[in-house]
Every structure is written in C-alpha cells, then in structure tokens.
Amino acid sequence: MWYVKALAGKGVYLFLPITGGDGSQILRPNWDIPSYSEVKTWTVVYSKGVSVRKSNEYDDKQEPKGHVLTCGETFQGRAIKHYGSKAGPEMIHIEADADGNPVEHCWFVPMTTRRGKSVCVAKPIAPTPAPSIPRGPVKVDPPPPPPPAPEASPWTMHEHEGRNYWHNDTTGETTWTPPGSEPPPPPPPPPGAEEGRVSSSSSSSSDSEEENHLQS
C-alpha cells in the first residue's frame, strides 16, 4: 500500500492511504491539463473497449465494474500526462460526448495499453481546403469611356495696333469684345446735349402757340 504524508499542524503529520487493502483507490491526484492540449474527437479502437478511470492514473478503474466505452464509440477530450508510481501511457480527460454535450462525470481513459497497443485514437482533422484558383483569364469589366472632349471655340484672338480683337473662323464675324462676355454699357452723352434738346423743344412749343394766336 502507498500513503500520502500530510501536514495536519505544526509538527503534526498524518499518513493517508492512497489505496485500500483490496487495491481500490482512496485518494486521487490533482491533475492539470497542459496549455498546449487541445480538445479533439477520439475513437475507441480497442476491440474489447476500455473502462473509464476516475483519475489520470492508469490503474484507477471503477470497481467492481465501472463504465465501459465500447469499440467504435467516440467522445471529445484532451490529452494529459499519466500520474502514478508506475510508468503509464498518456491519458485522455473525457469532456463531452461525440455531439459536444458535456459529461457529468470526471472520467479518464488511456491512449494505449501498458504494452503500447492503441486504445483510443484522435480523429484526424480535415485540412482547410485551399482557395480555388480560377482557370483561364479572369474576366475584367472594361473601364467606362472617357467623357467627350469640349468643342473647340471658333473664336481666335488677334492683335491690331496694341488692341486685342476676336475673329470667328466659322461666321467671319470680328469683334473687339471677348466672346461670351457682356457687351460694355453705351457711353454717356456729351455735356450740354440734354440742355440743347430741352431748349429746342421749348422754342418749337412757343412758335406753335404764336402761330395759333395769329390764326385766331
């Protein structure tokens, strides 16, 4: 039998049995899942099936007869190291059934027997298919046509005696004013032109009145 030396108090030690007189497990080790261990789908390949363990110790079977996974049964779990005084195969912590439903019990199964015969194997993960490469040239839509070029103006600028003027090559028209601009306002009348017009109008009116007076 094996015992665990436990510190119960200052200077007080207790020795606790790991197994009973019949070999049944009493204490079970604490276990940790390595950070690199991933959840995988496992299949039982041992023809006789495999009895589940209550810890990651190979001989820690359920007694008198515990749960047995039959050959071909699948489950999900993580690989962890074996624990115990004897060398043993790597173990699997069962976390869920094949459909991903969590199990209610803390169960373990070995990957192999002590002689190295396979008990459970991981289901290979299907590789991610590479993106398909199109065959032949890739059809690319042509770019839109460029906008039409603006029509060339028929007007051309020329110079005459220091002044610019414009000539229309289509109509033959010539102008001092730039095409498209508003024509300049007419020049104001010369001084005195308005007074002369008023005086002339007044004189004509007086002559008409005098002529009417003579006729009457």
Say what the alpha-carbon torsion angle 67, 73, 74, 78 is, to the nearest 10 degrees.
40
- Judge contact between 4 and 15, C-beta under 8 A: yes
Q: What is the pLDDT of residue 84?
A: 66
Round to whole Å and give the CA distance between 64 and 137. 71
Q: Which candidate, 149, 49, 70, 52, places its Cα nearest to that of 106?
A: 52
What six digits make up the tokens of 160? Answer: 């005459």
The whole-model pTM stands at: 0.48
What six digits make up the tokens of 90? Answer: 């790597």
Q: What is the pLDDT of residue 213?
A: 41
Sign of CA dihedral 42, 47, 49, 53: negative
Is domain 31-122 in CATH 2.30.30, yes or no? yes
Q: Which candidate, 50, 67, 43, places its Cα nearest to that of 120?
A: 43
Hey, what amino acid is at 181?
S
Helix (H) or strand (E) holding 156: strand 155-160
Round to whole Å and give the CA distance between 71 and 29. 28
pLDDT per residue as tens, the chain (216 positions): 677 788 888 889 888 887 777 766 677 667 777 788 889 999 999 999 999 988 888 888 766 677 899 999 999 999 998 886 566 789 999 999 988 899 888 889 999 998 899 999 998 666 677 777 777 777 788 889 988 888 888 888 888 888 888 888 888 888 888 887 766 667 777 766 555 554 444 444 545 554 444 344
Q: Which 8-state DSSP code applies to residue 141?
A: P
Domain ranges of the chain: 1-30, 31-122
